[in-house]
Amino acid sequence: MKFYKIMIALLLLSSCKKSEPIVITPNDYHNAIDKVVNIMIHDIFSPPVASRIFVYPNIAAYEIIAMQNPRYNSLSGQVSELTQIPKPKAPDQINFQLAALIAHMDLSRQLVFSEDQITSYRDSLYDIWEHKNPEVFKNSQDYALEVTKHIVQWMNADNYKQTRTMSKFNINSDDISRWEPTPPSYMDGLEPHWNKIRTFVLDSASQFKPNPPPEFSMEPGSKFHNELMEVYDISNKITELGDTSEEMQIAQFWDCNPYVTVTRGHLMFATKKITPGAHWIGIAKIASKKSNMNFEDTVYAYTKTSIVIFEAFISCWDEKYRSNLVRPETLINKYVNDNWKPILQTPPFPEYPSGHSVASGAASTALNSIFGNDFQFDDTTELQFGLPIRSFKSFDHAANEAAISRMYGGIHYRAAVDEGVKQGRDLGMFVVNSLNMVNE
């Protein structure tokens, strides 16, 4: 009889046990971002599309944080057509950090091809959180999904779906100044209609239209021909110096081309890498960790950076398909040396301006506004691809190196690099000054 009394007492104590608090850390958000990056590498998204996959989930998470934390201001009314997210009916029964993380994962899952990978990752976390506190988990999940639905409705009006059915880019093979597909895969021009995607802060895709490239001319001594031969001469010099040269290491470090294909005999396959936007998202992660940011500040850093990168690709792609300039590889093979190959594989879209340069100029400006102009960091982003750590004294230092890497790699003329990074910084400063995200 005594034994049964003890058992009953234990059962009563067990049933009265308080639920554990669900603690969400900055690392939980970093891990969710990392999961998305790895899936994006696997699914091989183009740089513009990748920027879209980053930005909407971050905005969803940020809006939930701004609903609860008075330090942050909602983006509704600040970015195009975004209205205020639903208010929670019982805010005291919601873990807002948990809701932000769930919203990020759920929206990310809807934007990638391999959604099962995020679903599996998400469900493994759901098991832990639900076990700790079923009521708070359920309330937070319900609110997160309500917000996600709101953001998806807004997102679906950005013209992305319409651009999926628009015509391919028309190649003008009779004009040698115009872009044409490059080896080894000779892919069609990617995302020729990206300038039709709704901007967030810019009044149009062409608001930061850069200076035009040098007038096309194959006449020796002309500015354009000089820039063409500069690419050729630098590439030959770097190749002669070998893999140990600083220029070669810079080119390889900032490659970030998700469309690299390798040909071996009759076999052609792709090697998968991150996009330039993903590299700068990785730098945002490095800076957030070094600064010991809390969860809310971490979400803010990612959101601001991803907004600027998204705008940068719309602006850059608008000019790419307007100027429609031929790549160095095409002209060098036709008129200088038919055996020449660039150090990096030429990506499948027109040359001007450099996408790396525009995105890097924009991202560095956003990160300067968060962490300061002299933020030193070690960039470990490319370790997973077997490349060593590079150290930078500032975000501008990194952006300048990313930009010049494209000329070292043999895929851009100098004007595309110089004008591109300026375009990115001008655009980035405009976005930063236009957004009022933080109450200091």
Structure tokens at 285: 């992660």
The residue written with tokens 């982003």 in the block is: 381
Does residue 314 contact residue 199 with C-beta atoms inside 8 Å? yes
Domain boundary at 156, 172, 195, which?
Answer: 156
**For residue 248, which of 72, 369, 387, 137 has the smallest C-alpha distance?**
387
Percentage of the chain surpassing pLDDT 90?
A: 88
Question: Is residue 269 assigned to a domain?
Answer: yes
Count how many residues are written for the chain. 440
- How far is Cα 209 from Cα 181, in angstroms, rounded to an integer? 24
Section 97-109 average pLDDT: 98
For residue range 279-295, list pLDDT tens digits in order: 999 999 999 999 999 99
Identify whether residues 83 and 202 lie together within a single domain.
no
Question: Is residue 134 assigned to a domain?
Answer: yes
Q: Residue 94 gets which letter from DSSP?
A: -
Does residue 136 contact residue 95 with C-beta atoms inside 8 Å? yes
- How far is Cα 343 from Cα 238, in angstroms, rounded to an integer? 9
DSSP H helix total and E strand total for the chain: 15, 4
For residue range 339-363, list pLDDT tens digits in order: 999 999 999 999 999 999 999 999 9
CA 10 to chain CA centroid, nearest Å = 53
Identify whether residues 299 and 420 lie together within a single domain.
yes
The alpha-carbon radius of gyration of the chain (Å, integer) is 24
For residue range 117-153, list pLDDT tens digits in order: 999 999 999 999 999 999 999 999 999 999 999 999 9
Give CA separation, 144 vs 36, 116, 304, 324, in Å: 18, 19, 20, 43
Question: Is residue 215 assigned to a domain?
Answer: yes
Does residue 226 contact residue 215 with C-beta atoms inside 8 Å? no
Section 56-70 average pLDDT: 98
The pLDDT value recorded for residue 408 is 98
Domain boundary at 117, 135, 156, which?
Answer: 156
Question: Is residue 176 assigned to a domain?
Answer: no
Identify whether residues 34 and 72 lie together within a single domain.
yes
For residue 430, give the CATH number of its domain: 1.10.606.20
Identify whether residues 315 and 426 lie together within a single domain.
yes
Does residue 329 contact residue 410 with C-beta atoms inside 8 Å? yes
Question: Is residue 90 assigned to a domain?
Answer: yes
Which stretch of DSSP H or E encloses residue 248? helix 246-253
Identify whether residues 71 and 208 lie together within a single domain.
no
Question: Is residue 171 assigned to a domain?
Answer: no
- How far is Cα 335 from Cα 217, in angstroms, rounded to an integer? 12
Identify whether residues 195 and 281 lie together within a single domain.
yes
Identify whether residues 137 and 255 lie together within a single domain.
no
Does residue 373 contact residue 307 with C-beta atoms inside 8 Å? no
- In DSSP terms, 178 is beta-bridged to 325
Does residue 297 contact residue 53 with C-beta atoms inside 8 Å? no
Identify whether residues 398 and 251 lie together within a single domain.
yes
The pLDDT value recorded for residue 40 is 93
The pLDDT value recorded for residue 15 is 45
Supply the range of the domain harboring residue 284: 186-434
Does residue 343 contact residue 410 with C-beta atoms inside 8 Å? yes
pLDDT at 2 over 80: no
Quick one: pLDDT band at residue 13, thresholds 50, 70, 90? Answer: very low
Structure tokens at 130: 């639900």
pLDDT at 262 over 60: no
Question: Is residue 286 assigned to a domain?
Answer: yes
Identify whether residues 350 and 390 lie together within a single domain.
yes
201-223: b (≥16 Cβ within 10 Å) or e: bbeebebbebeebbebeeeeeeb
pTM across the whole model = 0.94
Residues with Cβ within 8 Å of 153's Cβ and at least 6 positions away in sequence, in order, are: none
The pLDDT value recorded for residue 50 is 97
Number of domains present in the structure of the chain: 2
Identify whether residues 132 and 195 lie together within a single domain.
no
Section 176-186 average pLDDT: 95
- How far is Cα 358 from Cα 361, in angstroms, rounded to an integer? 5
Does residue 197 contact residue 161 with C-beta atoms inside 8 Å? no
- In one-letter notation, the amino acid at residue 385 is F
- How far is Cα 86 from Cα 350, in angstroms, rounded to an integer? 42
The pLDDT value recorded for residue 261 is 63
For residue range 386-404, list pLDDT tens digits in order: 899 999 999 999 999 999 9
Backbone torsion region of residue 372, taken as left when φ is above 0, otherwise alpha when ψ lies between -120 and 50, otherwise beta? left
For residue range 199-224, list pLDDT tens digits in order: 999 999 999 999 999 999 999 999 99
- In DSSP terms, 260 is beta-bridged to 271
pLDDT at 364 over 90: yes
Question: Is residue 179 assigned to a domain?
Answer: no
Domain boundary at 135, 156, 177, which?
Answer: 156
Strand, coil or helix: 298? helix
Identify whether residues 283 and 350 lie together within a single domain.
yes
Identify whether residues 244 and 110 lie together within a single domain.
no
DSSP string covering 154-216: HHTTSSHHHHTTSPPPPP-TT-TTB----TTT-PPPS-TTGGGSPPSSSSSTTTTPPPPPPPP
